[in-house]
Amino acid sequence: MKIFLVMLFLLTLKAFSGQDQYPEEREYSRADRGLRPYQALSIYKTGTFALTFDDGPHPTRTVQILDVLKKYQVKALFFVLTSKINESTFPIIKRMLDEGHLIGSHGVTHDRGADLTESEWKVRVKQSFIELAQWHKKAGYEYKKHYYRFPFGDYGTRSDYHHINALKEISRELMGENCIHMAFWDVDTADWVPGMTSEDVANNMIVHNEGGLFIDFKKVGNTYVKNPIPLKNPPSGGVILLHDIQEPSVKATELFIQYAQNRSLQLPRIDDIEEFRITKSCSL
């Protein structure tokens, strides 16, 4: 009976997980908000996790994380801020590509979408993709897989325009097609919260597989503090959000990879997951 219920659950997830997470060919409205519509349901309850890192490149910590990923032969997606890429950090970008990682846009700077007019937002996001194409070319690679992550997960919060509609317009202006793939997350490690240790961050990934005490956060005054809560129904799979600018994430990444490999969990690159596969031929 238990096996039957698990199979039924997975089939139910499968029925709702086939939607291509490129922006759909429709007009988005303020009703389109939040992360829930973009969960990686196809890998829930499968012990499959994809690693993603935001806000880099960092001149030392990103390199350390790349060392960890290379040691264990795990591939990741790095959402970079293109203002941080220059001649001194370019070798980090080239190394990412040489070692089989993906690079996505997190913007030129870490702008909250709600703070920018449509023209401002489009100019900055479009610039980030143009710059990434240039850095890919300099590294000897064609830029063919285009991912974008909204800083703060903030989108669809303005009344005058919707960021997803604007993202589609940017893609068509650059490539003549709806090619830019949105990527959110299922596991927020809270690695940026003050006081988080590497063990705390690793714990937050592990409990999303087996359950336990998740170290969440809450705002107290003008700062964020740790706020542990029980996680009783873990997804046991999903896209993990880490930040390669955060010191605790270096060791935490290794601790989680060790945990995953010791338990035969799968750690694919995100484009091997159903919701994030690249299905269109686009080049920039």
Q: Residue 13: what pLDDT?
A: 44
pLDDT, averaged across the chain: 93
For 62-92, how does the pLDDT look when each residue is reduced to its tens digit (9 = 90+)?
999 999 999 999 999 999 999 999 999 999 9
Q: Are strands 48-56 and 212-220 parallel, antiparallel or unpaired?
A: unpaired
Q: Residue 19: what pLDDT?
A: 53
Claim: this prediction has a pTM higher than 0.85: yes
Per-residue pLDDT averaged across 226-249, rounded? 97
Cα(64)–Cα(62) distance, integer angstroms: 5
Residue 240 contacts residue 234 (beta carbons within 8 Å): no
Q: Residue 7: what pLDDT?
A: 42
The dihedral of CA 152, 155, 157, 159: what is its sign? positive
**Comparing 5-9, 116-120, 179-183, which segment has the lowest mean pLDDT?**
5-9
State the CATH class of domain 53-188+236-276.
alpha beta
Per-residue pLDDT averaged across 7-19, rounded? 43
Nearest to 239 by CA among 180, 184, 181: 184
- Does residue 18 have a pLDDT over 50? no
Residue 167 contacts residue 276 (beta carbons within 8 Å): no
Cα(261)–Cα(182) distance, integer angstroms: 28
Q: Residue 4: what pLDDT?
A: 39
Nearest to 177 by CA among 146, 133, 223, 198: 146
For 209-220, how does the pLDDT look when each residue is reduced to its tens digit (9 = 90+)?
999 999 999 999
Task: Compute the half-sphere exposure of residue 5: CA atoms within 13 Å on the CB side of its CA.
Answer: 2
Q: CA–CA distance from 189 to each of 3, 16, 176, 242, 257 (Å)? A: 30, 25, 36, 6, 14
For 248-265, how does the pLDDT look when each residue is reduced to its tens digit (9 = 90+)?
999 999 999 999 999 999
H-state helical runs in 86-186: 90-98, 118-139, 163-175
- Does residue 12 have a pLDDT over 70? no
Q: How many whole angstroms from its chain centre is CA 249?
A: 15
- Does residue 143 have a pLDDT over 80? yes
- Does residue 5 have a pLDDT over 90? no
What single DSSP character describes residue 24?
P
For 159-207, how does the pLDDT look when each residue is reduced to its tens digit (9 = 90+)?
999 999 999 999 999 999 999 999 999 999 999 999 999 999 999 999 9
Q: Residue 154: what pLDDT?
A: 94
